[in-house]
Amino acid sequence: MPRFRFIPKPQSAAPMKPFASAEEAWFWFARSAKARRDGARFAGGPGSWQRPCDPDDIQRALIALYRRGAVGAIHVATLARFGAAERAPDIRCEEEFSFVAPWNEALDRLATPLKAKGIVA
């Protein structure tokens, strides 16, 4: 039987700073995912503050909502599209008007588990 080793992640002395909203957390996740796809490696370095989670924690929260049926494919696709664009859908733009409701619904539903985990203030 294998022996499991539990090694805590090193924490920097910088204070934790939760995200102000689920939208801010989502855009941070989208930028982190893009950087990871481009080959960046993440290491906790010195800084004035640190985030209370890894980017994967936000992705796992969305996947859990999708599996429970709290968000649908249109919600996930909308988050992916505008997360990659690093902006919210514009209600004034005719082509983006239909994405405003799924965007708001998805972020509203995503905010609940993120707040419960202390990721969003």
Give the number of domains in the chain: 1
Q: What is the pLDDT of residues 7-62, one digit of tens each?
A: 665 555 567 889 999 999 999 999 999 999 988 776 655 556 678 888 999 999 99
* Structural domain of 65: 22-36+53-116
What lies within 8 Å, CB to CB, of 96 at 6+ separation is 89, 90
Rounded distance between C-alpha atoms, residue 91 and residue 59, angstroms = 26
HSE-up (13 A, CA, CB side) for residue 78? 22
> H or E element: which one contains 17?
none
Instruction: Give a yes or no: residue 93 inside a domain.
Output: yes
Whether the full predicted model's pTM is greater than 0.85, yes or no, is no
Render 28-58 in DSSP notation, one character per residue.
HHHHHHHHHHTT--------S-B-SS-HHHH
Using one digit for the tens of pLDDT, what is the confidence trace for 87-117? 999 999 999 999 999 999 999 999 999 999 9
In a domain? residue 3: no
Query: In this predicted structure, what is the pLDDT of residue 34?
Result: 94
